[in-house]
Amino acid sequence: MRTLVTGGVKSGKSGYALVLAEEFAEPRFFLATAEAFDDEMKARIARHCEDRAGRFTTVEEPLAIQDKLCERMLLDCVPLWLNNMLYYGREAQVEGAVTEFIERLPRDIVIVTNEIGWGFIPADPLSRRYGDLLGLVNARLASACDRVVLMVAGIPLAVKGPPGPAR
């Protein structure tokens, strides 16, 4: 089943996505988009690696995620991928990459993203553009998925499709 897990920062998205992806037969794959630009990100990445140790084969790809898709995969996360695309000057390639990603979506995948535009309007143009782009990408992914789960304070809420396991 194609599942999009979304929600706010620290809402339990990654942990719940792991629960969903563990329902896949082995081998299972984890597509990691994060790059460790500083010590805090290094620590976050290390924690995520510990959380999934031995249960997933990790594939690291910060940009060309559409080229790394395979069955039984968890992708974590779309916002960091989009950040990377902007950071490396590839904003013009985002729409095409998303189209190709959706065309190649495997039957069994869990995709983690964030809802960042619910609380305030950023003060700078880059942050506003990022928020707008992420909202558009999320909408396209949600349309292509069978199930969409919104995490609120650690509680999964079914938005589209069948509910997943309780948390």
Residue 37 is assigned to a structural domain of this protein: yes
Cite the active site residues: 48
Residue 90 is assigned to a structural domain of this protein: yes
Q: Is 43:49 a contact under the CB 8 Å cutoff? A: no
Query: What's the CATH code of the domain at 31?
Result: 3.40.50.300
Q: Is 65:81 a contact under the CB 8 Å cutoff? A: yes
Tally of domains within the chain = 1
Residues above pLDDT 70, as percent of the chain: 99
The DSSP result for 90-138, as a single string, is -GGGHHHHHHHHHHT--SSEEEE----SSS---SSHHHHHHHHHHHHHH
Per-residue pLDDT tens over the stretch 45-66: 888 888 788 899 999 999 999 9
Per-residue pLDDT tens over the stretch 106-146: 999 999 999 987 877 888 999 999 999 999 999 999 999 99
| pLDDT of amino acid 117 | 79
> What range does the domain containing 9 cover?
2-160
pTM of the model: 0.94
Q: What is the mean pLDDT of the chain?
A: 93
Residues 152 and 52: their CA atoms lie apart, in Å, by 22
Residue 41 is assigned to a structural domain of this protein: yes
Structure tokens at 35: 């790059």
